[in-house]
Amino acid sequence: MLDIKFVRENPDIVKENIKKKFQDSKLPLVDQVIELDKESRAVKKEADDLRAQRNKHSKMIGALMGQGKRDEAEEMKVLVTSQGERLSELEKQETELSEKVKTIMMTIPNIIDDSVPIGKDDSENVEVQRYGEPVTPDFEVPYHTDIMERFCGIDLDSARKVAGNGFYYLMGDIARLHSAVISYARDFMIERGFTYCVPPFMIRSDVVTGVMSFAEMDSMMYKIEGEDLYLIGTSEHSMIGKFIDTMNKEEDLPYTLTSYSPCFRKEKGAHGIEERGVYRIHQFEKQEMIVVCKPEDSMMWFDKLWQNTVDLFRSLDVPVRTLECCSGDLADLKVKSIDVEAWSPRQQKYFEVGSCSNLGDAQARRLRIRVNSKEKGKYFAHTLNNTVVAPPRMLIAFLENNLNADGSVNIPEALRPYMGGAEKILPKN
C-alpha cells in the first residue's frame, strides 16, 4: 500500500505505474482517492477545531457559574451540546471517509522498481540466467506420478475419496524423500544464518489483508467457517504477520527467518495434464525464507534470497534458471520478483519451483511494522520473501533429473544423511 501523501503529491507517477501494470481500469481510483483524502482532511480539521472550541467552552461554564452568571452559563451549555452533536456527525464522517480512502489505497498497486521489464503477463517474463546443464536422457522419462507409483510412493485414488481432487498420500521412500528435502532445506538455511521458525498455520483477517491484495486473498485463501481465521497459503503470511504493530530498533535489523509450514490453497481454474498429480494441489509443505530490513538494504537481500534457492537446487543436481517477472505478472504489493524454475527432462522445458519477492514497505505499511532510528526517526521496514523449497513440486524436478534408466533414483550426496545414507532408492514395481 502506498503512502497517501505520495499519491497526493505524485498522481502522474502513480497513474503511469498503473498503466505499466496494464490495470487501466484502476486509473480513476487515483483522482477519487485524492478527492476523498481532501474531504477527509477537511472534516478532520473541522472536527479538531470544534473539539478545541468545545473544550474551551466547557471550561468557561464552570467559571461563569462561579461568577454567578447562571444565564450565560446555561447559554454556554446549549452551545456545548450543539457542538457535541456536530462533532458526533463529523467523527462519523471521518470514519466513513477513512475507510473509503483505505479501501482504495489497498487496491492501487505498489510502485514497481525501474528494473522490472514491462509486459502484460507471465508469457513476457524475461530469462536472466541458467545454472547447470539441462540433461536430456536417452530413455523416456515417465510422468511424475508414474515414477512415484513404481516406488509404491503415492496414492491419489484414496486421497480423492478422503478429501477430493488436489490431495495425495505419499508413502514409503517417496514420503521419506519428501521429508528429507524439507529437513535438508531447513538446515541449509540455518547454515546460512537464518533463524528457524514454525509459525501458526492460521491467521486472522487483518493479517491476511496486510500481506496480500484482495484479489490474491479471494483466489488463494481458505476461510474457517464461523471464525476470523484463514488457513495460510504460505508461511510468509504468518511470518510477516509476526511483526504486526511493532516498533523495531534499527540496530536489530535485519530479521532473517526461515520457516516450515503446511500450505493450503484453493488453486482455482482448470489445469493441463502436466499440472495434475502433485504439481498444483490444495495442500503441500514448504520451507520459506523472509527478511525484514532497512529500505536501503532490501535489493541486496533480494539478490541473496533467490541465490539461496538456486544454490539449494544445484546442490541436489537439479538444473535451474531465474526468470524476471514482468510488470503485468507482479502482484499488486510487489516491487520486484524473480521466479526460480527447474528443468524438466520429461517436458524439455523449465517450470516454476519458487518465487522471490521484494514488497518494499507495502506489507509493513499495512501491518504497521515500523523501525525507530536515532538518525532518521521512525519509518516503515521493507519485507521480502522467497521459497526455499516446496517438496511436492520440487519432487517432480528431483525425480526427473535423478532418474536412471532402470527406474532407480540417485540420491545426491547432500541429501544422503537425511535418507539413512542411501545412494539410491529402488523401485518396488
Q: Is 214 left (phi over 0), alpha (psi -120 to 50) or beta?
A: alpha
As a whole-number percent, the residues of the chain with pLDDT over 90 amount to: 83
Q: Mean pLDDT across the chain, nearest whole number?
A: 94
Provide the pLDDT for residue 276. 64
Percent of the residues in the chain that have a pLDDT greater than 70, as a whole number: 98
Give the residue-averaged pLDDT of 404-422.
97
Q: Is the pLDDT of residue 1 over 90?
A: no
Q: For residue 35, is pLDDT > 80?
A: yes
Q: Which phi and psi (to 5°) does residue 226 adopt? A: 80, 5
The residue ranges of every structural domain in the chain are 4-105, 122-425
121-139 per-position pLDDT tens digit: 999 999 999 999 998 999 9
What fold does the segment set 4-105 form as a domain? Helix Hairpins (1.10.287)
Model pLDDT, residue 273 = 47
Task: Compute the distance between CA of residue 412 and CA of residue 317 in angstroms, rounded to an integer.
Answer: 7
Given a cut of 60, whether residue 222 has pLDDT beyond it is: yes
Residue 181 sits at φ, ψ, to 5 deg, of: -65, -45
**Residue 271, pLDDT above cutoff 60:** no
Tell whether the model's pLDDT for residue 383 goes beyond 50: yes
pLDDT at 322 > cutoff 70: yes
Residue 51, pLDDT above cutoff 90: no
Checking if the pLDDT of 148 tops 80, the result is yes
User: 122-425 maps to which CATH number?
Assistant: 3.30.930.10
